[in-house]
């Protein structure tokens, strides 16, 4: 039988900050079970003396210092009723600290809510249901819901808002040549909403990475990696930073080229995305080197007799990636050479995996040949070791000798490969 609580007496019995920890432990017991289905006996250990005293008083027992106290909740309910304080201990806890939560039911409800969200259904009044098919496909991947939980702090409305915002952005992608700030202002009303670190930006980047099926290499700097993903969606971020260096890349109409044969040229991400050249490279071998010095040496030695050559300048950034994407799509056969050191092998692994480039004088035999002409010096290869995917003998051979061979040290051999009667374009 439920009775109106006597608030003043209830507060004296169980209220106050000094009994807050005890109330929390009692609440957890009730919240683990549906109403009316909780076990009637509860054992509590580690209680403070004043907590033991209060429980003993409620049960009408003498106070004894013990490590664990056995509580008959039915006896406490009866005592509270007879005293005219309230109907039960459960009601008392709800009266003092607010309604108790059925945690099992709440957990089931949360699981169902996330499962519903994974289908693209946003059950809130303030956010529309996403419609972009790429977003809906991404939601079916195993990474989607964990990312939304983390970015939305495990809150369904927050995650739903992120999905709605990401959907608005995805409706405008790809956006060839559009600055990221303009895209953010146009779709979300805030020019900084898609800046690095923003939650909705992370969702959009995850969706686009899933959409184009490409992978990025571990050594990439995070913001540079993000810039490259945006570039693949046609979006400009710091579009003038780290332009791609090249020489003698042929185009269908040489009158449209902004560079001269034999002269090293920088192509910005802005230029590549806003005015992509019509590359005339189908069936041609386009060579790729790691270091700008090698490209400069080739241009000095061969001028317009140099084969088409692109420099990654280390791990390719957004502009280099965009250029290699365009050349590969235009039918070029790519061939890569870099330094014989661990970062050089890491870059080679990435370039060969991403653009199916062939190794260019990058075998164990090439390394041994380079050592024959290298000056004697102490070993300088350190850790961590990188394994060359294209030649299983290369890494063990480099470990055995311990020496770095810079790309410039084998320039003479590379120049011979690059020599051709006349560069196109």
Cα 279 from chain centre: 33
pLDDT in tens, 10-57: 888 788 888 888 888 888 888 787 766 777 888 888 888 888 888 888
Residue 52, both tokens: 């033991």
pLDDT in tens, 266-313: 999 888 988 889 999 999 999 999 999 999 999 999 999 999 999 999
Judge contact between 122 and 161, C-beta under 8 A: no
Q: State residue 213's pLDDT score.
A: 62
CB burial of 90-112 (b: ≥16 within 10 Å; e: otherwise) equals: bbbbbbbeeebebeeeeeeeeee
Rg (CA), the chain: 34
Q: State residue 215's pLDDT score.
A: 52
Q: How far is CA 299 from CA 246, 248, 302, 360, 419, in A?
A: 10, 9, 5, 18, 10
- Positions in the chain short of pLDDT 50: 1, 124-125, 216-222, 423-425
Q: How far is CA 79 from CA 23, 57, 83, in A?
A: 17, 10, 6
Nearest to 308 by CA among 316, 317, 326: 326
Q: State residue 297's pLDDT score.
A: 92
Q: Which residues contact 315 (CB under 8 A, 6 or more apart)?
A: 217, 219, 220, 343, 346, 347, 350
Q: What integer best gives the mean pLDDT of the chain?
A: 85
Residue with tokens 């805030």: 190
């Amino acid at each position: 039988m439920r009775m109106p609580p006597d608030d003043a007496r209830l507060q004296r019995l169980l209220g106050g900050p000094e009994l807050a920890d005890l109330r929390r432990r009692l609440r957890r017991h009730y919240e683990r079970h549906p109403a009316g289905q909780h076990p009637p006996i509860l054992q509590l250990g580690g209680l403070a003396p004043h907590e033991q005293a209060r429980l003993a008083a409620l049960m009408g027992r003498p106070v004894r210092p013990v490590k664990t106290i056995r509580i008959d909740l039915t006896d406490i309910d009866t005592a509270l009723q007879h005293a005219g304080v309230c109907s039960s201990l459960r009601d008392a806890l709800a009266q003092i600290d607010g309604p108790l939560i059925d945690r099992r039911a709440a957990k089931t409800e949360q699981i169902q809510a996330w499962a519903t969200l994974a289908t693209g259904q946003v059950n809130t009044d303030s956010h529309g249901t996403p419609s972009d098919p790429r977003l809906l496909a991404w939601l079916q991947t195993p990474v989607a819901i964990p990312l939304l939980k983390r970015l939305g702090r495990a809150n369904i409305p927050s995650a739903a808002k992120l999905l709605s915002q990401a959907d608005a952005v995805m409706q405008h992608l790809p956006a060839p040549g559009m600055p990221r700030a303009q895209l953010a202002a146009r779709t979300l009303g805030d020019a900084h909403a898609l800046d690095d670190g923003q939650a909705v930006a992370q969702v959009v980047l995850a969706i686009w990475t899933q959409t184009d099926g490409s992978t990025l290499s571990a050594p990439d700097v995070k913001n540079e990696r993000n810039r490259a993903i945006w570039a693949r969606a046609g979006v400009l971020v710091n579009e003038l930073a780290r332009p791609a260096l090249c020489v003698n890349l042929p185009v269908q109409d040489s009158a449209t080229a902004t560079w001269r044969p034999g002269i090293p040229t920088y192509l910005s991400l802005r230029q590549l995305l806003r005015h992509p050249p019509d590359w005339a490279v189908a069936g041609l071998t386009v060579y790729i080197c790691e270091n700008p010095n090698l490209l400069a040496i080739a241009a000095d030695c061969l001028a317009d007799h140099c084969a088409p050559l692109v420099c990654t300048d280390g791990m390719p950034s957004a502009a280099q990636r965009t250029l290699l994407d365009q050349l590969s799509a235009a039918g070029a056969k790519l061939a890569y050479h870099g330094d014989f050191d661990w970062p050089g092998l890491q870059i080679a692994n990435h370039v060969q995996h991403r653009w199916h480039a062939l190794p260019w004088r990058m075998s164990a035999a090439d390394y041994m040949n380079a050592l024959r002409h290298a000056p004697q010096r102490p070993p300088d290869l350190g850790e961590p070791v990188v394994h060359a995917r294209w030649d299983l003998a290369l890494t063990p051979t480099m470990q055995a000798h311990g020496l770095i061979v810079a790309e410039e040290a084998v320039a003479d051999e590379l120049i011979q490969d690059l020599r051709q009667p006349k560069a196109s374009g």
